[in-house]
Amino acid sequence: MPPLIDRTWLWLAAACYLLGAGLGLVALLRERRHSRAAMYIILAAGYTFQTFGLYLRGVAVHGCPLGNKFELIQFTAWSAATLYLVIGPAFRLSLLGFGTALLTAVLSLGALLVPSWDAVVRTHIFGGNTWIEFHAALALFSYGVFGLLALVGCLYLVRDYGLRIKRIGGSFAFLPAIRDLDQIGLRLLGAGVILLALSLAVGSVWWLREPATVNLPKLLTTLAVFAAYALAWILRLRGQLSGRRWAQACALLFIAALLSIAPVNSSRHAPPATGMVKGTAR
């Protein structure tokens, strides 16, 4: 039997995430609480498959697999899953597991289902520079944090909607409390901003050394994403952005962050990569 290729592992991961999402959805529709342990195990299984898939891809491309849209989205989903597996048990936030499963399923399946995103695979994209690799991985990890933040924002909006239409029973009964969501959201926002700031700081060292290698649209897009999240954080800390508007901002900013992947990816400084692989079967 031939060894499983990276995409096969990533398909297995997506299937696990989808299973988790399905389990959570069925429980929610039946107005039953899903098993937190089962959800954690399913997500952990998906995470293991995804980690292995990304590892194989990393070995193939000689670096952190962040060379095309497919890899960027997969890495974002992996980051969100990592974060949930680490902080989920501590937060004990109901539906966070379901939400993470849904988010990672959508991201990883979405990436797998668009072949063009993985049509061209770049190798050696960081040219052996581990700092740049660290910069990119950290930036993507912060996107994973922002993904969970968006999830928390959506849960906040649904809980708020339920409270305003005077519904706290049925499926609404499983939603976390407003104040818990608010506090966890604030922590995630702070963590995401700090991670992205750190990533930009690391990247800026390289940029100052060799400004010509960094594409301006990429720089501006990344800075715009960072500025938007940093502004949201400051406004939230000052109490000027709160409640529904804050939750909406968390969700919308993540959509913007995901959309920013396209310009960032297409405007990569070309061609530091030493090679390109056409196709996806490895």
Partner 1 sequence: MSAPRPLLFHLGASHHTAPLALREKLALPPARAEALHARLASARLPEFALLNTCNRVEFYGVAGSEEDLSALASAFCEVTGLSASDFSAIRAHTTGAGAIRHLTAVAAGLESQLLGENEIFGQVKDAYAAAQSSGRVGPVLNRVFQKAFQTAKHIRTHTAISTGQVSVANVAVELALTIFGDLQSTRVLLLGAGDIGEKTAKAFQSRGACSLTVANRTPERAFALAQTLDATALPFEHFTHHLGDYDIVVGSTAAPDLIVHAADAAAALGRRRSQPILFLDLALPRDIDPAIAELPNSYLYNLDDLAGIAEQNLAARTAEVSRARALIAEKADAVWQQVVDRHGR
| Residues that bind partner 1 in the complex, under the rule CB under 8 A | 31, 159, 162-164, 166-170, 172-173, 175-180, 182, 236, 238-239, 242-246
Pick 139 or 175: Cβ nearer partner 1: 175
Pick 74 or 94: Cβ nearer partner 1: 94
Cα within 13 Å of Cα(212), Cβ side: 2
Pick 127 or 162: Cβ nearer partner 1: 162
Pick 110 or 190: Cβ nearer partner 1: 190
CB of 256 to partner 1, least distance (A): 22
How far is it, in rounded angstroms, from Cα 204 to Cα 103? Answer: 31
Contact 135, 199 (CB under 8 A): yes
- What is the separation of C-alpha 218 from the centre of its chain, rounded to a whole number of angstroms? 19
CB of 182 to partner 1, least distance (A): 7
